[in-house]
């Protein structure tokens, strides 16, 4: 079994714009190169989930999906609901939730969520147990839901399920989510998270699957992913606003890592 007891530290140097979250639902204006960021990537604890959800919400503030699904909802209620829902991911043994911390400030600035099949022996170096209260919340997550648009919520979830049924193998690693705070984007942080997963995938001769917005496609093509299908969701069909196109992408193992 591969031990992951040590956190992953890397000094991030500024890189050209490119890496965006696989679920990034908006494009960001081009930003001037930022300073180097001393980044520590480590496993998140259950107590970190609220902070990670805040990063996700801040990363995608004006996406058509968020606007269509949570329009008019109390932001605190949205945060609570998404945090409770994240407990289900945390409880899954194959789910690896990573936090990116600015080592100089101690601030959590990014996170990613990977599904890595147990056959690859990548251990989660974190206590995965949940408190009794957290287990109860997880079992009754919809009790915490705001008055959201369930039509667009299920529309997106249905797309994910159909797409993975068509393209995903049981042995595939999945990059489910990658979020970076807006003020830290385009500074190589996304690349560091990709490196974490790519090294493990190539060492295990495994593919990596993800769903990306079209804005993020060029970056993933650059790092070895290929488009296998494109899907357009028209949120107006479910009472939402606008539409969005997603690229289903797979990276074949390349043996040498990042």
Distances (CA, A) of 102 to 32, 60, 234: 19, 20, 38
Count Cα neighbours of 106 within 13 Å in the Cβ-side half-sphere: 0
Does residue 28 have a pLDDT over 70?
A: no
Band (pLDDT 50/70/90 cuts) for residue 24 is: very low
Q: Cβ(25)–Cβ(63) under 8 Å?
A: yes
Would you give the DSSP letter of residue 14?
A: P
Which whole number is the average pLDDT over 75-92?
96
Does residue 195 have a pLDDT over 60?
A: yes
Which CATH code for domain 8-120+149-251? 3.40.630.30
Q: Cβ(42)–Cβ(48) under 8 Å?
A: no
Which whole number is the average pLDDT over 58-85?
92
36 compared with 241, residue with greater pLDDT: 241
Report the alpha-carbon distance of residue 205 to residue 124 in Å, rounded.
20
> Taking the domains of the chain in order of start, what are their residue ranges?
8-120+149-251
Does residue 61 have a pLDDT over 80?
A: no
Does residue 257 have a pLDDT over 50?
A: no
Q: Cβ(2)–Cβ(123) under 8 Å?
A: yes
Write the CB contacts of 140 (distance below 8 Å, at least 6 apart in sequence).
none
In this prediction, residue 214 carries a pLDDT of 83
Band (pLDDT 50/70/90 cuts) for residue 36 is: low
Does residue 129 have a pLDDT over 70?
A: yes
Residue identified by tokens 């101690």 is 106
H-helix segments, 12-149? 49-59, 64-70, 75-91, 132-139
Report the alpha-carbon distance of residue 226 to residue 229 in Å, rounded.
9
Which whole number is the average pLDDT over 4-8?
41
């Amino acid at each position: 079994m591969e031990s992951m007891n040590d956190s992953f530290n890397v000094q991030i140097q500024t890189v050209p714009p490119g890496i965006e979250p696989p679920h990034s639902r908006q494009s960001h204006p081009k930003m001037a190169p930022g300073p180097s960021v001393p980044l520590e990537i480590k496993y998140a604890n259950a107590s970190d989930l609220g902070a990670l959800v805040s990063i996700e919400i801040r990363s995608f503030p004006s996406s058509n999906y968020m606007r269509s699904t949570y329009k008019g909802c109390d932001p605190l209620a949205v945060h609570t609901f998404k945090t409770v829902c994240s407990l289900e991911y945390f409880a899954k043994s194959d789910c690896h939730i990573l936090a990116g911390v600015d080592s100089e400030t101690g601030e959590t600035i990014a996170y990613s969520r990977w599904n890595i099949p147990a056959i690859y022996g990548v251990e989660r170096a974190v206590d995965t147990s949940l408190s009794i209260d957290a287990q109860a919340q997880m079992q009754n997550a919809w009790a915490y839901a705001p008055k959201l648009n369930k039509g667009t919520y299920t529309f997106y979830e249905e797309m994910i399920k159909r797409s993975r049924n068509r393209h995903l193998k049981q042995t595939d690693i999945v990059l489910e989510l990658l979020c970076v705070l807006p003020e830290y984007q385009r500074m190589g942080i996304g690349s560091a998270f990709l490196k974490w997963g790519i090294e493990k995938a190539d060492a295990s001769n495994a593919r990596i699957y993800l769903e990306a917005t079209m804005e993020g496609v060029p970056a993933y093509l650059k790092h070895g992913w290929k488009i296998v299908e494109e899907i357009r969701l028209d949120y107006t069909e479910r009472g939402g606003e606008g539409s969005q196109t997603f690229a289903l992408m797979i990276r074949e193992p390349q043996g040498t890592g990042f």
